[in-house]
Amino acid sequence: MPDPTVGQDFVLRVWPRGAEEDIEYHLKFINTGWDFRHEEGGGSCDKAGRPFLTYRLAYDHAGDPLLVADRLQRLWRRARRGGLSPAQVQAALDELSEWLRVVNEHAPRGPVWEEAR
């Protein structure tokens, strides 16, 4: 039986630190991982979103790439093994998006935490 998630398009919303609006990362579920698309590019990634999605997360200051990579890999494997529907995959990505929003909203701020220039 074919996997119903392969070839499906999904959205992961992220909230870069300091931004007033979210950014949509577009993901397509593929046999080898995810095809990541963003307004500034993208490409095929492994199950954890490497290299393009994790790079973009770091660049956008939108979440910890290692933690997100772990969650994406778990989701990809669960979808393949457990036969998650496209709606269930999107719901999981929405939950991941909300987690990223909360983490960024409550991140420490102020001069001590700013990057040295």
3-state secondary structure the chain: CCCCCCCCEEEEEECCCCCCCCEEEEEEEECCEEEEEECCEEEEECCCCCCHHHHHHHHHCCCCHHHHHHHHHHHHHHHHHHCCCHHHHHHHHHHHHHHHHHHHHCCCCCCCCCCCC
* Domains in the chain: boundaries: 9-105
pLDDT at 116: 57
- Helix 65-82 with 52-60: angle, nearest 10 deg: 140
Q: Does the structure show a pLDDT above 60 at 66?
A: yes
pLDDT at 5: 82
Query: What is the arithmetic mean of pLDDT over 9-18?
Result: 89
Q: Does the structure show a pLDDT above 90 at 71?
A: yes
Q: How confident is the model at residue 41 (pLDDT cuts 50, 70, 90)?
A: confident
